[in-house]
Structure 1
Amino acid sequence: MNDFEVHTSSGTKRPTHPLPQLEQVELKGMLDWLSAYGADAQGGVTRLLYDQAWCKAQHALAEKMQEKGLAPEFDQSGNLYGTLHGRGMGSGTGMEEAPIVTGSHIDTVVHGGKYDGAYGVVAGVLALEYLQKHFGAPKRTLEVVSLCEEEGSRFPFAYWGSRSITGVSGLEDVQHLKDQEGITFAQAIRDAGFGPNSSYRTASHTYGAFIELHIEQGQILERLGHSIGIVSDIVGQKRFSITVSGEANHAGTTPMSWRKDALAGAAEMITAVRNIALEAGEPLVATVGRITADPGVGNVVASRAVFSLDIRHIRQESIDRCWHNMLQEFSRIAAEQQLGLNWEEHLSVTPIPMNDQITSDIRDICEVEQLSYIHMPSGAGHDSQIFQPACPTAMIFVPSHDGISHNPLEYTAEEDLMKGFRVLVQLLYKYGYGS
């Protein structure tokens, strides 16, 4: 659904009212406050879906939303909404239009940074507080969502928050999944106080539009000297677990040529991943970020090896061709070394273009605010690619210092954070308060 209509006076690029005292917003302070939930000794943040740090952070955010004048509400998945109710102005039917929603996710990778996801959530809360304080109730309901999960760091399933909201996935699709400690998704959601037996409403929710403010997690904006990235489209992804099966045997008495070494076979396959990706050329990327071996003993030939595989590109046909070539090579290696080969696909997301009208409005705001901007694709996956098929969606990027992300050194200067915040506030003002 790409048509997007808001009742605004779109003939002017300037908001009806100036935005006073915007520089006084305590954006960095609230980011620092949120980063304390899950702070680790390495200086990073670890908040995994439904773990203790995650639960404390999400409930603390609910209290913060209430303090800021928003109406907080959880759903059964653990997504948290803070609503600034509109005055009920519908589209001639007497019914309230679906809300304009901003936000992002609060879960992190292990030892991650404090800006990824959290920036969009904090900025959304403070944007709605600011608008209510200076302009009162909007004509159209505005909402911020703190999505429960995006990263896929605890369970081998990403975008659970946005997938559950849009109806793309339900608990039946994920309840059997296990984390590295053997805890099932069904147990984790229940222990966190959510799930179908909780008192919260179902996750299904209709948005009029979704706008995600996010750090770039790359070097393009900083290297090219731009303040704002207007996302044109988001890469597609495939994620797999590849299992290689061999035969455990004595490391000293088993000749090399007689071995069925699962770890050696996996190593050759991983090398093939890199070679095939390099041959395909940019912007295709392929990553093996995790590998485990059984029995995991130094003097025993490995009987089993499991490695992850992540493939990304802005064109679906390139992703599919790369995976086909890799699977052919994996099969050849397994056959030559007398190994078993199995694979499981955990994620398949097609490349998604962002909404033309909203991105055009973002561009207009940047020009009025005299902010340097570029249109650019996102090489990282985001919840916006899940929302776009369900509602008009757009993303706004701000620079990441040295392009570092998923790392305690992740950093964006306060000045850059505020520039992105200004764009978000202007956009929400246009859609929520426009005549």
Structure 2
Amino acid sequence: MTEFDALGLLREIEDVGRDPRRGGYSRHVFDDAERELRDWFVERARRLGLKVTTDRNGNLWAWWGEPGPDAFVTGSHLDSVPGGGAHDGPLGVVSALAAVERLQASGFVPTRPFAVVVFAEEEGSRFGLACLGSRLLSGAITPARLESLTDASGRRFVDVAREASLPEPGYDAESLARIGLFVELHVEQGKGLIDLDAPVAVGSSILEHGRWRIDVRGQGNHAGTTEIADRRDPMLPAAEAVLATRRAAALRAGSRATIGRIEPVPGGTNVIASRVSAWMDVRADSEQDTRDIVADVQQAVSEAAAAEGCEASVIEESYSGEVRFDPQLRDRIAATLGNVPVLPTGAGHDAGVLAAHVPTAMLFVRNPSGISHAPEEGADDAAIQAGVDALVRTIEDLA
């Protein structure tokens, strides 16, 4: 076991960002925990002799040799969902560092530019937009949308970025042009590899997915003095939204729809809320199914709001169509690894954003619980080592 063994690297960061209330980890872009992980990555990458730079969007690049065009790029992210698992994001980063150390020790030298990247705000847990770093880099966000991004405290992303010495976030044509191909290793966020009894797979595609905010406005009032008949309670239409989301997804095979976040205002136990906001995540095999689910929920919420004397709106916050990873790259990696399984995923990734611009591929590592975005998510030691082996062989073949 070397200094840069993946299991050892994971142990080094296992206490950073622990969430005592939710369990698991809460690491959000530019908060104390995520900054500590950034500093850790920079120190570790420099110890390998890599040159680390930060682009205009807060993405970290660790270059093996001089930066240049047509680069082989690998990596992932270090942020998490609230109360997430230890491996979602960091596994791809530590595996890349471990692979570089292995290759250096063997005498391998890449014949093309090579970088390990850490993308900022992949989960979207602070500013509400998933894959923010890769979306900004690739120009997938309009300046107006960028200006509107705020966190739960009302702080704008552009102001937080400025404080982090990133005065002009946005489309980064120079960084994008350097990527010749991108390979992202990630813990599998499902049971595919359990069912196949395999430690590693290559990704084939990402389902259509999007996020919508549901706002219901009523009349705030006293919970103890307001008669039921006199209430305009926005919580009732919000509750109907939760039920309608499950019903609409269940009608369409292969679809997934979830409301995992609800915020009542003002949020007191003895207060009828004046406003309730809920966030809905929808993923499906087709755009038609996705749009139909949203339409069903919108109708149900509108009817429930009218019955309660409230007003409701459903606003799209993000949407991504189906992503199919580069088939030639996918098949070449699968063959290099001995014809490992090829799997689709319902989870979004930075590789999915970049797929519209450069050849991309994904390596999935077995998750023995099949659980994701929760403290129970993880990867067994043997699968982690198999993932590093797969990444090493991929780099040897393509870099």
TM range (shorter): over 0.9
Deviation string, structure 1 residues 168-222 (Cα, Å, up to 9, x no partner): 126653233222222221222222333329xx99765531111011100212212
| Range that drifts further, 141-150 or 312-321 | 312-321
Q: Structure 1 residues 314, 385: CA separation in 2 closer, same or farther (over 3 Å shift)? A: farther
Structure 1: gaps spanning 5 or more residues? 1-21, 89-95
Q: Is 1:233–2:212 an aligned residue pair?
A: no
Q: Is contact 1:70-1:129 (8 Å) kept? A: no
Q: CA deviation at 1:257?
A: 3.2
Q: CA deviation at 1:84?
A: 1.5
Any idea what SS the aligned residue of 2:314 has? strand
Q: Is contact 1:77-1:203 (8 Å) kept? A: no
Q: CA deviation at 1:362?
A: 1.9
* AA matched with 1:404: I
Please name the residue that 1:3 is paired with.
none
Distance in 2 separating the partners of 1:204 and 1:359: 21
Please name the residue that 1:119 is paired with.
91
Any idea what SS the aligned residue of 2:246 has? helix
Please name the residue that 2:191 is paired with.
219
Please name the residue that 1:108 is paired with.
80
Any idea what SS the aligned residue of 2:348 has? coil
Q: CA deviation at 1:56?
A: 2.0
Aligned ranges 1:92-103 → 2 under 5 Å: 97-103=69-75
Distance in 1 separating the partners of 2:322 and 2:257: 15
Q: 1:68 aligns with which of 48, 58, 62?
A: 48
Distance in 1 separating the partners of 2:317 and 2:331: 34
Q: Is 1:418–2:385 an aligned residue pair?
A: yes
Q: CA deviation at 1:97?
A: 4.2
* AA matched with 1:354: F
Deviation string, structure 1 residues 101-126 (Cα, Å, up to 9, x no partner): 11101111122222111111111122
Please name the residue that 1:144 is paired with.
116
Q: CA deviation at 1:24?
A: 8.9
Please name the residue that 1:428 is paired with.
395
Distance in 2 separating the partners of 1:201 and 1:208: 13
Distance in 1 separating the partners of 2:173 and 2:338: 41
Distance in 2 separating the partners of 1:260 and 1:383: 42
Distance in 2 separating the partners of 1:36 and 1:170: 37
Q: Is 1:163–2:163 an aligned residue pair?
A: no
Q: Is 1:77–2:44 an aligned residue pair?
A: no
Please name the residue that 1:386 is paired with.
353
Distance in 2 separating the partners of 1:81 and 1:171: 24
Please name the residue that 2:367 is paired with.
400
Deviation string, structure 1 residues 286-328 (Cα, Å, up to 9, x no partner): 1101112123233333221111100011322211121122222
Q: CA deviation at 1:67?
A: 0.6
Q: Structure 1 residues 24, 189: CA separation in 2 closer, same or farther (over 3 Å shift)? A: closer
Q: Structure 1 residues 213, 133: CA separation in 2 closer, same or farther (over 3 Å shift)? A: same
Q: Is 1:190–2:158 an aligned residue pair?
A: no
Distance in 1 separating the partners of 2:207 and 2:242: 22
* AA matched with 1:67: R
Q: 1:302 aligns with which of 268, 273, 276?
A: 273
Q: Structure 1 residues 345, 206: CA separation in 2 closer, same or farther (over 3 Å shift)? A: farther
Any idea what SS the aligned residue of 1:381 has? coil
Structure 2: gaps spanning 5 or more residues? none
Any idea what SS the aligned residue of 1:280 has? coil
Please name the residue that 1:337 is paired with.
308
Q: 1:359 aligns with which of 320, 327, 330?
A: 330
Please name the residue that 2:29 is paired with.
49
| Range that drifts further, 240-249 or 177-186 | 177-186
Distance in 1 separating the partners of 2:386 and 2:46: 26
Q: 1:31 aligns with which of 6, 10, 13?
A: 10
Distance in 2 separating the partners of 1:392 and 1:424: 16
4+ residue runs over 6 A deviation: none
* AA matched with 2:354: F
Q: Structure 1 residues 311, 305: CA separation in 2 closer, same or farther (over 3 Å shift)? A: same
Q: Structure 1 residues 309, 55: CA separation in 2 closer, same or farther (over 3 Å shift)? A: same
Taking structure 2 as the reference length, the TM-score comes to: 0.92
Q: Is 1:322–2:296 an aligned residue pair?
A: no
Distance in 2 separating the partners of 1:296 and 1:72: 44
Deviation string, structure 1 residues 64-102 (Cα, Å, up to 9, x no partner): 11111211111121111111237x9xxxxxxx6410111
Distance in 2 separating the partners of 1:82 and 1:51: 21
Q: Is contact 1:103-1:211 (8 Å) kept? A: yes
| Range that drifts further, 181-190 or 117-126 | 181-190
Distance in 1 separating the partners of 2:97 and 2:327: 25
Please name the residue that 2:258 is paired with.
287
Taking structure 1 as the reference length, the TM-score comes to: 0.85
* Identical columns (%): 32
Any idea what SS the aligned residue of 2:124 has? coil
Distance in 2 separating the partners of 1:310 and 1:385: 17
